[in-house]
Structure 1
Amino acid sequence: MTVTEHVGPTVAPETAAQVLSAEQRYADELAFLAAYDDGARPPGWALTPRAVVTFIRGSDGEALKLPADRRTGAGLPASMTIPAKFVGERSLVERCVVTLAGERGLLLVGEPGTAKSMLSELLAAAVSGTSALTVQGTAGTTEEALRYGWNYALLLAQGPTPQALVDSPVLTAMRTGRVVRVEEVTRCLPEVQDALVSILSDRRMNVPELSGTEGDLIRAAPGFTVIATANLRDRGVSEMSSALKRRFNFETVHPIADAQTETDLVRRQATAAVQRAGAAYTVDDAVLDALVTVFRDLRSGRSGEGWDVERPGTVMSTAEAVQVAASLGLSAAYLPGGDALDLVPGHLLGVVRKDDKDDHARLLGYWDGPVRRRAEDGSAMWRRLWDLRESLR
């Protein structure tokens, strides 16, 4: 890696962005799949349901061949291999797609860090061509975020007119027949959540302020539906009403079951994160294997060897593992000279200290259990980690 003198601040190009939306990142794939599969599409859909599943779960390494008559004037390649973007059961993705095809609400639930938001973004991008119609649920989210607001300058000048109405993402999706995403719906107050009940059942929105005008009743165009997400850890924050639950099909997104699959995902996403920072990813695969093993043991409460592990209160998610792996990669790139393995205990401590002060003791207990046993079995990697126990204090 060549080191050059840095003079003054670096200004990023105007077109640069830290993160692109799914429809921007995968625009070529979406265009290819739209031409490749010309089967029946539900009203308002950009792709067929089969193509949506292929977009999310990939083509299993197969190069899809595009007939010549569909490439004319489109600038599309003759073939394309679609990589998997969501690591999870294909059947889960298929159930999600069928739910949306039936214009029913879809609720993705699961532990934090299981890629619920990513799945909802991919689904919205493939079905509607955009994932931008999104409401972020918080305790401060108001009913206006799910219904509508007003341009108060026009409201004062003209009174309540259709021109003064400011559409929410939900209302925009209703007008255009698209998918709207509601992230962390259980973070919203119950009275805010319940604004979705009539929207999902009646598929229309009344604007009483416009009574007697053309815009007082807005009906959902074909293709409109809602994808919501909720963390199982937040179930007691603002419990959904029974009426709202009945409007959704619930799908649980589980943590990645296979250790190698999770390690591959962590490596891939950490590599991408470090490359975005302008560096090469050089962390040894053995270090990543050990890192993912620790996360999986602490997450499940049981080691791969069958030893009991006291689970921390914080969520040891795959997303957190990616962040730690990326930090190791950035340290190796920008602060060279040390061993990435030596940094693992400190980063793990930063993860487990987030929620419960007793999690520090649980991490030490893990070191005194599985880490020590693996070191005694002769593993040089785990012996080094055992020697680093004092750095956890």
Structure 2
Amino acid sequence: MTASSPTAALRPHAEQSFADELAALERADSRTRPPGWRLSPWAVTQYVLGTTLDDGTEITPKYIGARRVVEVAVATLATDRALLLLGVPGTAKTWLSEHLAAAVSGDSTLLVQGTAGTAEEAVRYGWNYARLLAEGPSQAALVAGPVMTAMAEGRLARVEELTRIPSDVQDALITVLSEKALPVPELGTEVQAARGFNVIATANDRDRGVNDLSSALRRRFNTVVLPVPATVADELDIVTRRVADLGRALELPEVPTSLAEIRRVVTVFRELREGATADGGAKVKSPSGTLSTAEAISVVTGGIALAAHFGDGTLRPADVAAGIHGAVVQDPVSDGVVWREYLETVAREREGWDDFYRACREVSG
């Protein structure tokens, strides 16, 4: 079996998708680069937030939000402290960590995915057991994990959903982050971190109490909180850009995307998330789900697929109604009441929302 080329991959890594932008920034970057970094901190920030270079190269925004948040995150990675990106679901924590790793190291693939079943070997190292039984402990039998590889090569390691990892496994990071070394007692040796090594972790602040970080581990991270988009315009910009990117990646048929329809999805999600209508004129109940920007992107992308394959080729309320219903009504009983109340008291009365109201009512039954 041969590896897929980046162009054939369903979801290329950031350093593959934006290779031209990274190369253009590298050529134009004359600022000081920390040891092991592909770009200077200034250029990393430009890559993440977007800019136009002197030669006319357009660097597209990867993260839409406060510049200072990104600057603090990048500056942290240039120190000896690890970076923890904290926020509610859908605030682009994983997206930002991937792009930071791509810009700093040129490699975003050194990833530990945190779950309740993540073992210590994922953070440290494992063994090729056939060789271990045949030869005993040896360098050839050792299988380096992503963190060990990042240490040896002076790159960034990513740890997703840190608070989902059991506490005893989390604590395997303490020595790595404090001593910048990973002992291998079976071989009587250790791996010392090469310059350029650091760790970016993400955590969902709704997971507090699942596997809280020990104070010893938390002290070794600088925490940057990623907020939800501040305004409707910001969220609309994020959704529109990501939907366009996904449409190209998935090779969906061209659909004249109605900005009005995307705005409606974003408005519904924000009002239900914030518990009030956009004009502040009425309070509404919030459902149990997060209704994140990521979910809004999914709803609109699904709507485009429906419009392209089963509709008239134009995004309409009926194309997004089922997706919105699925995102809002996580609990059929309590969320169902919240959604029906929103439809009757807000959507039904809002000018220009008649088709949307009827489509949602039809889906809701």
1:282·1:333 contact (CA, 8 Å) conserved in 2? no
Q: Judging changes above 3 Å, is the alpha-carbon distance between structure 1 residues 343 and 29 closer, same or farther for their aligned structure 2 residues?
A: closer
The runs of 5 or more residues in structure 2 that have no matched partner are none
2:318·2:360 contact (CA, 8 Å) conserved in 1? no
Specify the alignment match of 2:192 in structure 1: 219
Secondary structure of 1:217's aligned partner: strand
2:257·2:315 contact (CA, 8 Å) conserved in 1? no
Give the aligned length: 358
Structure 2 distance, partners of 1:357, 1:253, is 31
1:274-328 Cα shifts (integer Å, max 9, x gaps): 3323410223221111111101111111211112111111010111111110111
How far residue 89 of structure 1 moved from its aligned partner, in angstroms, is 0.8
The runs of 5 or more residues in structure 1 that have no matched partner are 1-11, 66-77
Specify the alignment match of 1:166 in structure 2: 143
1:51-78 Cα shifts (integer Å, max 9, x gaps): 000000011xxx322xxxxxxxxxxxx4
Letter in 1 for 2:264: A
Pick one of 200, 206, 210 that aligns with 1:233.
206
Specify the alignment match of 1:251 in structure 2: 224
1:295·1:321 contact (CA, 8 Å) conserved in 2? yes
Matches for 1:263-282 after TM superposition, within 5 Å:
263-275=236-248, 276-282=250-256
Structure 2 distance, partners of 1:336, 1:386, is 18
Letter in 1 for 2:216: A
Letter in 2 for 1:308: K
Q: Are 1:143 and 2:125 matched, yes or no?
A: no
1:34-56 Cα shifts (integer Å, max 9, x gaps): 11112211111010010000000
1:331-374 Cα shifts (integer Å, max 9, x gaps): 11111248721233322111123357411111111112222332
- Highest CA radius of gyration, 1 or 2? 1
Letter in 2 for 1:285: L
Secondary structure of 1:209's aligned partner: coil
Secondary structure of 2:157's aligned partner: strand
Matches for 1:136-215 after TM superposition, within 5 Å:
136-211=113-188
1:283·1:328 contact (CA, 8 Å) conserved in 2? no
Structure 2 distance, partners of 1:220, 1:324, is 43
Matches for 1:80-159 after TM superposition, within 5 Å:
80-159=57-136
Letter in 2 for 1:280: E
Q: Judging changes above 3 Å, is the alpha-carbon distance between structure 1 residues 290 and 22 closer, same or farther for their aligned structure 2 residues?
A: same
Pick one of 310, 334, 340 that aligns with 1:358.
334
Identity %: 45
1:283·1:332 contact (CA, 8 Å) conserved in 2? no
Structure 1 distance, partners of 2:6, 2:45, is 34
TM-score normalised according to structure 2 size: 0.94
1:262·1:292 contact (CA, 8 Å) conserved in 2? yes
Specify the alignment match of 1:56 in structure 2: 48
Q: Are 1:311 and 2:286 matched, yes or no?
A: yes
Q: Judging changes above 3 Å, is the alpha-carbon distance between structure 1 residues 145 and 279 closer, same or farther for their aligned structure 2 residues?
A: same
Secondary structure of 2:284's aligned partner: coil
Specify the alignment match of 1:341 in structure 2: 317
2:26·2:39 contact (CA, 8 Å) conserved in 1? yes
How far residue 159 of structure 1 moved from its aligned partner, in angstroms, is 1.0
How far residue 389 of structure 1 moved from its aligned partner, in angstroms, is 5.2
